[in-house]
Amino acid sequence: MAKSSINFQKSKGHSYDHNFRKDEPNYLLKPTDRLENFYWQNEKSAREIFDEELKSYGTKKGKRPTFENSHWEAVLNLNKNHTLEDVRKLAEYIEQKFNITCATIAVHRDEGHYKNDKPQHNFHAHITFVTVKDGQQNWRKEKIKPADLRELQTAVAEMLQMERGQENSEAERLSHKQYKKAAQQKEQLEREILSLKERNAILEQARKDSKGK
């Protein structure tokens, strides 16, 4: 079972096509092993939400926010039992806590790796937000304190009923390629450890046999 974790990064240009499988990646599980993905979209696109919120800035002096700096994506660990509704409730909590607007949600259940020819699913969700609201940029260091992010990680664990990830951890969520590579390395290490145990068992048995002669 995965531990709870949510990590934010600026949304990339191809995120929508990736998240909604318009551009299907080549690292998905075999079609027969994929589970159904779940999707949700705001009535307005992220760009439309941003353009509408930008009107609230009016003729304010100073640097105006750009769409690229105001379109963020959260990647969320999940387990098999989690539903789209679970993720929507969490997204609503984030909207209220940070005064930002959710644009899309994609729950992915078709990724993972294979261990002994058995699929090991990597359940997760991508949640995108527009961070300009009520005439201000609400996702910046001056407004988001470390304590706020710690509270968010705790809320994620509680709302999804998952074991909380390590507090103050500097680890980042692995990308798809990094996840697959790490899984392969772990499997190789497990095979090597098993081989070593088998070798030691054979040597130990040989030692006992020689003593019995």
pLDDT > 90? residue 190? no
Q: What is the pLDDT of residue 204?
A: 65
Alpha-carbon gap, residue 194 to 200, rounded angstroms: 10
Mean pLDDT (whole number) for 43-71: 89
Q: Which CATH class is domain 6-172?
A: alpha beta
Q: What is the pLDDT of residue 17?
A: 95
Q: What is the pLDDT of residue 30?
A: 96
| 20 CB burial (10 A radius; 0-12, 13-18, 19+) | middle
Q: Please, which pLDDT band fits residue 80 given cuts at 50, 70 and 90? A: very high
Q: What is the pLDDT of residue 61?
A: 63
pLDDT > 60? residue 210? yes
Q: Please, which pLDDT band fits residue 1 given cuts at 50, 70 and 90? A: confident
pLDDT, tens only, 106-133: 999 999 999 999 999 999 999 999 999 9
Question: Rg of the chain's alpha carbons, rounded to an integer?
Answer: 23
pLDDT > 80? residue 145? yes
Beta carbons of 179 and 113 less than 8 angstroms apart: yes
Percent of the chain scored above 90 by pLDDT? 66
Beta carbons of 148 and 97 less than 8 angstroms apart: yes
Mean pLDDT (whole number) for 160-171: 74
pLDDT > 70? residue 7? yes
Q: What is the pLDDT of residue 38?
A: 98
179: left (phi over 0), alpha (psi -120 to 50) or beta: alpha
Instruction: Give the CA dihedral 151, 153, 156, 162, nearest 10 degrees.
Output: -130
pLDDT > 90? residue 90? yes
Alpha-carbon gap, residue 208 to 210, rounded angstroms: 5
Mean pLDDT over the full length of the chain: 86
pLDDT, tens only, 13-35: 899 999 999 998 888 999 999 99
pLDDT > 60? residue 169? no
Closest CA to 72 of 133, 150, 146, 21: 133
Closest CA to 104 of 69, 152, 72, 63: 72
Closest CA to 113 of 36, 183, 200, 24: 183
Q: What is the pLDDT of residue 84?
A: 98
Domain boundaries, the chain: 6-172, 174-213
Structure tokens at 79: 């387990």
Q: Please, which pLDDT band fits residue 6 given cuts at 50, 70 and 90? A: very high
Q: Could you give the angle at the alpha carbon of 90 between the alpha carbons of 30 and 11, nearest 5°?
A: 65
